[in-house]
Structure 1
């Protein structure tokens, strides 16, 4: 009977840790994907108007910095809001445990019973978890929060900045390093290959079929580059 009550808390912690790691991996893949698509669209569009290497480099660097800073700022704000919500939920749970301990014990028992434990085992588990650390038990079982691993907005912002930058470097280097006559072809092919890899990676992380994810990624990137290149070509032809 002693081992059984510990299982719910142990499972909850493992599930939360795994989910957190997968979320970080997905965010990294998506951030890199955004960097590839947005920067590729920008430099290919500029390439439609001019083949001047300095202009392409300036546009690409501006897009890289603007995009990475925007991603980092957006992630920081989003995760800060999530962290504030987690702290508020923990504070409210702490107040309820202080003011209504019996009601909270009954609630924890119900939650454990809903996870498949018998009523007797759920009650015993709830009592043991409450005696050990009531707030931690409710945070994990009721709220799905690990008090020791609250979301960190600085980590999220840094990860987004880095992922976007890494993704953006590919089309930037592809458009400025090759000879003028090969720049567009090298950029388009390298970007489509990177998008295919990103689509495959995101599908694997989510246990989803790879083919639809790859086709969506490649199709979206190809469309973005086609539209921006057409716009750049028209503007270049018009002398803008």
Structure 2
């Protein structure tokens, strides 16, 4: 049974109809990627799921209707959203940013355990615990954004353009961590303009154009699809 199901979801964003009735599903334990050009509706899809954009249509998560729930409620249900551009708190330290990710956790020991788990993925964050987030490199800020999301121990991790603006070697590191998280059982919905990187690690993928799903399939099969190759892999 799918963990997340969108059925005929429509949404307006920035004065235009950004989603025109999309339907898609994410099964527990999968990496599912959503690819498409700028303005296709990828980010709006994630914002619709996390409650940042009002929608018409059905969004169910774990069998529960979550359409139009506010973000703090979707977060408590186990959905973590790492937005495009990272959106860390630049004037707060690495530690303070991570603690914000554990806002719903009361036990100090649990917070410490989760922080150590984040450091196991991103050792550099431990080295820079007292450094302000805004003074770090783009790659380190992306690590911090993902680490902050992991502090909530999500069941579904949604990543919006995690490779944007990063050096190739850092992109490789980020995608290795995404794969590792998935191998440990985390379900991941990945929005990524680097279609090649995304489809390499994805179980399945959806192609979105102007607010509509136009193609779906197994990740490896989409990589050899002529339409996908011409539009996104050339």
Q: TM-score range by the shorter chain?
A: under 0.3
Bigger Rg over Cα: 1
Structure with more strand by fraction: 2
Structure with more helix by fraction: 1
> Larger relative CO (CA 8 A, sep 6+): 1 or 2?
1
- Normalised to the residue count of structure 2, the TM-score between the two structures is 0.26
